[in-house]
Amino acid sequence: MTRALAFFAALACGRAAAADFGRQPLADPRDPPAYAPLSGGEGASYELGQRVLNTQWVVAGAPRAARIDGLGPLFNIGSCDGCHNDGARGRGPEGDGPVPGSLVLQLQRGAGPDPVYGHTLNVAAIDGLEAEAAVSVHYRARHGRYPDGERWTLRVPAYRVEALRDGALAADTVLQPRVAPALYGAGLLERISDAQRRRWAADPAARRDGIRGERAGRFGWQGASVSIAEQTARAFSREMGLMTRLLPADDCTPAQTRCRLADGGVPEVDDALFAAVLAFQQKLAVPAVQRRPESGERAGATLFAAAGCALCHRPRASVRLDDGRTVTIAAYSDLLLHDLGPGLADRDAAGRPHTRRWRTAPLWAVGLVPRTGVPTYLHDGRALSLEQAVLWHDGEAARARLRFEALDAGRRGQLLAWLARR
């Protein structure tokens, strides 16, 4: 183990207990707690935000809709909860066939959206309009083995876009399948300073391991959003067709005349409801995961650091709270972009790989990936286990993956069990 990796091992082991601010027991997933006590007004906003998150929006003009109309004209799902489930992560496809509602297919052509279909391919529409397309996925198996001979299998996805309403996608339109990320601890991630991210990006130990972190936004699988507010406004607009004052447009393009004529008022999500949704996300705690005895924690943390995983999945970060306190959180992320190789790259409509840079996904609460059905991991849910997620790492993470592969089966299992307890 190099001196730098030994340092990270000591950091991960010796300070793990001190880096648990923001975690709270999740007695009822339908009633997720805040990470700190809330005043009367804060509590009311938090509760209203959760109710808005769980609200099924309806089309503009629906009877007795009150403040929850304006869905569409084109959309993917009718509620935030349909993807995030009270703050949890969405689910990727369990097998071949139509993709679930919590996975959206974003589109990019050049530096902007697709000129015909917009930022997101919408698979649903209000009465009187047609959905833009139908999206399905097919997996082929990729096999390999560890140095000790144990075999592994990965799923390689291929997305199929059919029934395109307004003509074929251009060959250079990039398809970006995205599972809804968890909202847990988002407000604490927003508080990680730019200065801290700059230090991580310039860390000599990471550079020596071939890691070149790049600062971008803090939110989204590729850091496309700089704040919770921006990320939320984009989701309302592009996935639900709901306008906010921050983003007073939906995903109808100039080429979609009937869609533009069916728009509701502006904003469709009024300022009070939007502020409440932000308040919920900014105060939402990270569910505490049941931990095993300290010996198991130390061994898993040591293996995690020795493999080099902690050079991107940083075991601790300092954040400053509203009351002036500085606390330590264990998000296990540097919130930087890294090249993870061609295997994870988005591909265009012609099948050519494109974007390869991904924001380091926080690992806290990774053990709480939905436990009903088949768990799925990574940006498009291709991994059916944490082991598969690790094996997909390449590019800047190749050295860490190779160190993981070189472990014997017992220690690989120990590291993966430790990950599942984050």
Two tokens, residue 243: 């306008």
Residue 320 pLDDT greater than 70, yes or no: yes
Residues 6+ apart with CB under 8 A from 395: 338, 339, 340, 341, 342, 356
Q: How far apart are CA 422 and CA 410, in angstroms?
A: 19
State mean pLDDT over 218-238: 97
Q: Which pLDDT does position 4 carry in this prediction?
A: 42
Q: How far is CA 336 from the centre of its chain?
A: 14
Question: Residue type at 360?
Answer: T
The DSSP call for residue 249 is -
* High-pLDDT (> 70) share of the chain, %: 92
Q: Which pLDDT does position 268 carry in this prediction?
A: 92
Residue 87 pLDDT greater than 60, yes or no: yes
Q: Which pLDDT does position 30 carry in this prediction?
A: 86
Residue 71 buriedness (CB in 10 A; 0-12 / 13-18 / 19+): buried
CA torsion 6-10-16-18 (nearest 10°) is -140
State mean pLDDT over 82-102: 89
- Which pTM was predicted? 0.92
Question: Residue type at 350?
Answer: A
Q: How far apart are CA 92 and CA 247, in angstroms?
A: 27
Tens of pLDDT, residues 250-277: 999 999 988 888 766 788 999 999 999 9
For the chain, the straight-line distance linking the first and the last C-alpha, in angstroms and rounded, comes to 23
Question: Residue 377's beta-bridge partner residues?
Answer: 383
- For 354-375, b/e burial (b = at least 16 CB within 10 A) is ebbbbbbbbbbbbbbbeeeeeb
Pairing of strands 120-121, 124-125: unpaired
Report residue 81's pLDDT band, with 50, 70 and 90 as the boundaries. Answer: very high
Helices and strands in the chain, H and E counts: 13, 16
Tens of pLDDT, residues 396-420: 999 999 999 999 999 999 999 999 9
* Biggest alpha carbon–alpha carbon distance for the chain: 67
Report residue 2's pLDDT band, with 50, 70 and 90 as the boundaries. Answer: very low
Q: Which pLDDT does position 260 carry in this prediction?
A: 84
Report residue 12's pLDDT band, with 50, 70 and 90 as the boundaries. Answer: very low
Residue 5 pLDDT greater than 60, yes or no: no
Report residue 305's pLDDT band, with 50, 70 and 90 as the boundaries. Answer: very high
More confident residue, 293 or 31: 31
State mean pLDDT over 231-244: 96
Residue 18 pLDDT greater than 70, yes or no: no
Residue 369 pLDDT greater than 80, yes or no: no
The average confidence (pLDDT) of the chain is 91
State mean pLDDT over 46-66: 90
What is the residue extent of each domain of the chain? 3-419
- Count of other CB atoms within 10 angstroms of residue 153: 11
